[in-house]
Structure 1
């Protein structure tokens, strides 16, 4: 009898290797899909759910303040008064994070300093507590109604959907600069559309039942985050000195990040108190 020689199947090893490689690819694909779903959920949470929560909470705070105040009394331009807080002015003129391109700044209008001859407003009984809403900002053009709190801390003020007042800046309606920061994206994003404001638009601030009406005068579409001149008592950009004011007056400043979904630059809107 002939000896039988065992037959080696050459293709079986290759098929096993292919199967193993396919398994690795499948596992990698599953991992990629899982990571993608997690990232998508995080984006939805950050971009939609936090907005919903913060906006709802902010509106509840507005209603609480309105119930507390009752009727609102309009007032004129005051004589010089002390700042709301005794702290030094903030060093970051728009520390709102990315609450969030480049573009060039442009003037939106004249914005002459307001008269100082109008009747003075009654002084506040005491400074507002830090991190607590004490005023309401209304911007009719944008349909915006948002509470204002002291400070620009993200966790305790801005991420709650509030607008924050820079420490050391003037009280609402007082001579000096009432300077505010707000998120442009996420967490209620109250300042998302302030780039749509134009000269002559009203910025209304209600505090303790009294109303102060500012009028948009000038807009700086882009400056650095360290341009502290924009929140000075007489606001004027240190980076772009052609933008801002030169005379004392009662001013309001709105700051936020730009471009959208970025914190690279700051967008600034200035207004003056209506006499």
Structure 2
């Protein structure tokens, strides 16, 4: 802001021969630049507050609504549906299809996974790539999510360690995925984490999947990471030969979309829900850190 200059003594103003005030053009320019920088800084600060905090609040409300709708759909059961217990993932863009839990992030980490990955959908929560596999099925169930702002469901997925559980709940089942070994763990897996009973079924994948590891960084244009065999654009295995994978994708590094952070996990267990025990949950949900 500009200041009013007085001609009286002690005011700090310059006094000319005739007693009138004069302006130092250099000081005026410097003051103007300073004011512009302060204003720009405030604008940037407000934008960051909006992106990181305000959008989180807005997304949390939308996520609660999506979860409530999904719960209502699951509760509206028919005798035929209960008898056949078949899942329905053929939902419109933006509707919930499943729930995701990552116990290592705490008992309160839970998000409804939506159908699709449009910007509008990802403002509500993590979204399933439409061309990817389905929860618990052979293939690659791929899910995208924001890392900063808009609920930031994948803010900390870089902290996931090999063997960490990713639990997916559907209407009739619980599917337990575990993060695959990271690249520097593959060679020593059998004598290190591979000896941990919790990691059963989570070792390095062989054959066509030998290049798939727990975490990688790729370019935003690399869509091969969500293929049935990640990274293999030349390969489409028969359904009976596909491994049941889950892939999480998000921007990298934080506050940037220059690259993509990828986490690959393999399904190790399926727990069918018992209609006589509606509150029963798989033991993996208790693996909180």
Q: TM-score range by the shorter chain?
A: 0.5 to 0.7
Shift of 1:68: 3.9
Distance change >3 Å, CA 13–CA 253, structure 1 → 2: farther
Contact 1:203-1:214 within 8 A present in 2 as well: yes
Contact 1:133-1:150 within 8 A present in 2 as well: yes
**Aligned match of 1:183:** 146
**Aligned match of 1:205:** 168
* 2:223 corresponds to 1:261: no
Shift of 1:136: 1.0
Distance in 2 (alpha carbons) for counterparts of 1:22 and 1:195: 49
Please list the CA deviations of residues 199-244 of structure 1 after superposition, one character each: whole Å capped at 9, or x if unmatched: 2221111222432221221322311122222111122367xxxxxx
Distance in 1 (alpha carbons) for counterparts of 2:52 and 2:123: 12
Contact 2:214-2:264 within 8 A present in 1 as well: yes
In the TM superposition, what are the counterparts of 1:214-233 in structure 2 within 5 Å? 214-217=177-180, 218-233=213-228
2:264 to 252, 258, 270: 270
TM-score, structure 2 as length reference: 0.63
Distance in 1 (alpha carbons) for counterparts of 2:145 and 2:259: 14
Contact 1:195-1:221 within 8 A present in 2 as well: no
* 2:29 corresponds to 1:34: no
- After TM superposition, the structure 1 stretch with the greater mean CA deviation from structure 2, 253-262 or 16-25, is 16-25
Distance change >3 Å, CA 198–CA 21, structure 1 → 2: closer
Distance change >3 Å, CA 57–CA 13, structure 1 → 2: farther
Distance in 2 (alpha carbons) for counterparts of 1:165 and 1:13: 77
Distance in 1 (alpha carbons) for counterparts of 2:89 and 2:30: 67
Unaligned runs of 5+ in 1: 1-9, 72-120, 239-246
| Count of aligned pairs between the two proteins | 207
Contact 1:228-1:237 within 8 A present in 2 as well: no
Distance change >3 Å, CA 264–CA 26, structure 1 → 2: closer
Distance change >3 Å, CA 35–CA 266, structure 1 → 2: closer
Distance in 1 (alpha carbons) for counterparts of 2:255 and 2:267: 31
Distance change >3 Å, CA 265–CA 32, structure 1 → 2: closer
Distance in 1 (alpha carbons) for counterparts of 2:111 and 2:159: 17
**Aligned match of 2:123:** 159
**Aligned match of 2:74:** 69
Distance in 2 (alpha carbons) for counterparts of 1:62 and 1:222: 31
Contact 1:176-1:251 within 8 A present in 2 as well: yes
Distance in 2 (alpha carbons) for counterparts of 1:138 and 1:62: 13
Distance in 2 (alpha carbons) for counterparts of 1:254 and 1:178: 9
Distance in 2 (alpha carbons) for counterparts of 1:126 and 1:28: 57
Distance change >3 Å, CA 63–CA 19, structure 1 → 2: same
**Aligned match of 1:149:** 114
In structure 2, the residue corresponding to 1:48 is in which secondary structure? helix
**Aligned match of 1:249:** 243
RMSD: 2.9
**Highest RCO, 1 vs 2 (Cα 8 Å, sep ≥ 6):** 1
Distance change >3 Å, CA 269–CA 18, structure 1 → 2: same
Contact 1:135-1:208 within 8 A present in 2 as well: yes
TM-score, structure 1 as length reference: 0.66
